[in-house]
Amino acid sequence: MGNITDSYKTFAKLSPNRIAIHTNHQQISYQYWYKLINQTANWLHSLHSENKTIGILLPNGIPFLQLFAGASKAGWIAVPYDLKWNISELEKRVILSRPSIVVTTREIYSQIKQIIPNVTILDDCLQEIPQFDPATVRKTEESLPFYIGFTSGTTGNPKAFVRSQDSWVASFACNRFDFGLDESDQVLIPGALIHSHFLYGAISTLYLGGTVFLLEKFSPIEALTWIQSLPITTIYVVPTMVEAFLKKGIQIDKTIKILSSGAKWSERSKLEIRHMFPSMTMYEFYGASELSFITVLSDREGIQKATSVGKPCYGVEVQIRRPDQKLAKLNETGKIYVRSKFVINGYFDYEGSTIHSIHDEEGWATVHDMGYFDEDGFLYIIGREQNMILYGGINIFPEEIEKVIALHQDVEEVAVIGLSDSYWGQIVAAVVKGKASPSDLKKVCKMHLSSFKIPRKWFFLSEMPYTTSGKIARAELIKQMESKVSSD
């Protein structure tokens, strides 16, 4: 199907002076970007590595994207590592992904060189790369892996997923068909490139020939300033960023397109963001690292079907299945299965030698989310199977209760968990960060929930425990609260 860098040559020829990437310190044209990627690919070829895997431990910036795209062009695998991981977390992921070289900053190099093998300093690489041929690069095989990412397993141990070139190239069609993006778009990437949402946003924009405006790190004030003062047409966000924008209380009348992952959107913030950006068009999409795009909810549909995550994206099939694997009826909850060309190759095992596919024989895959279709073909997410609480034989999904509790203005964050109970099996408990009182939150719950879904226990924390990917660590939270209950 192609390489994620295939279009660079065309844009370098047709629009040589168009800006490919704009940062605080630098702007580079497509002509220069094409040359840079070729040189980077040829530099990697010169290393004569059998493993052909490069680890990228860098902050946001052109070098991050250069090494990622250059590795793709060379037929290498790129593995982004998170700067927020501690040494132990980094070491686990390095062992799992087995890079032949890890590129990082001089400062980080001095901290990890004794522990992490094959580390090299970015500045040294950037001095070597310009010596290589900027024109000719060997052709690579698109079906080979090109990207390793990580998810936190249910045990807390990292899982490494592997993605091929053609899965991303195929998904670029969603940018055109579902989001209406093309080479005229000026796209702000305000988040860390370690997260696939933002990395994909940057790489897909470059493939389509648009301009990437890249923040070094997320700052709501800087992002809003860039939107107001630069020719930005589109912004990739996650819901927490929108909350940060709302706190600034600035209204921006500029026409802008907002692309958001559909996780954890409250109806309150959806309404408020429309007041902040009165001329915006918003697209929410539901997806997963393993499955890529699944459904999209357009601006107009978002008003009519506010609690839905939309309809299947271009090129995506979705099924809802009962436990016996038969198809569920409309409005009947079941497990969500997806079939598309965007799905990962699979997971690495801990020896790093075998890729375990997540497809069944007919190409369907699941990440064990539960949901249902309504009569108009819109998908609704109920929750994740592993989070399900079994209360006296009744299935309760925490996500439904969390959405209700989050409606209270004094709730900053909430996690609903199941705690062991000798009679019921499990009872519903809510862990809240914020100033709301239990009595106020119970009132909100009574307005929106059946009585058996209202939390029986309430806990208040100043800080939640998180996984390395920034999600609430539910397993750790359950452990903490079980311990608290047994000691009371």
Is domain 388-487 in CATH 3.30.300.30, yes or no? yes
Predicted pLDDT at 155 = 46
Q: Which of 135, 137, 162, 124 is nearest to 343 (CA)?
A: 162
- CATH 3.30.70.270 is held by the domain 8-381: no
Residue 80's contacts (CB-CB under 8 Å, 6 or more residues apart) are 56, 64, 68, 149, 193, 194, 199
By the 10 Å C-beta count (0-12 exposed, 13-18 middle, 19+ buried), 255 is classed as exposed
Structure tokens at 115: 């522990």
Q: How far apart are CA 76 and CA 144, in angstroms?
A: 9
Burial 120-136 (b: 16+ CB within 10 A, else e): bbbeebbeebeebebee
| Pairing status of strand 158-164 against strand 145-152 | antiparallel
Query: For 39, what's the count of Cα atoms within 13 Å in the CB-facing half-sphere?
Result: 17
**pLDDT in 10s for each residue of the chain, 488 residues:** 578 999 999 999 999 999 999 999 999 999 999 999 999 999 999 998 888 999 999 999 999 999 999 999 999 999 999 998 889 889 989 998 999 999 999 999 999 999 999 999 999 999 999 999 998 777 766 667 899 998 765 445 678 899 988 899 999 999 999 999 999 999 999 999 998 899 999 999 999 999 999 999 999 999 999 999 999 999 999 877 888 888 888 888 899 999 988 555 666 777 788 888 888 898 988 888 889 999 999 877 877 887 788 999 999 999 999 999 999 999 999 999 999 999 998 888 666 567 888 988 899 999 888 899 999 999 998 887 778 888 877 788 888 899 899 989 899 999 999 898 877 888 999 999 999 999 999 999 999 888 889 999 999 999 888 776 667 888 888 888 888 877 66
Whether residue 411 contacts residue 468, with contact meaning beta carbons closer than 8 Å, is answered with: no
Mode of pairing for the β-strands spanning 394-396 and 411-421:
unpaired
Residue 360 structure tokens: 């069944």
Helix/strand/coil (H, E, C) string of 124-143?
HHHHHHHHCCCCCCCCCCCC
What local confidence, expressed as pLDDT, does residue 154 receive?
46
Domain with CATH 3.40.50.12780 in the chain: 8-381
pLDDT of residue 126: 97
- 114 by Cβ neighbours in 10 Å (0-12 / 13-18 / 19+) ranks as exposed
Residue type, 270: K
The boundaries of every CATH 3.30.300.30 domain in the chain are 388-487
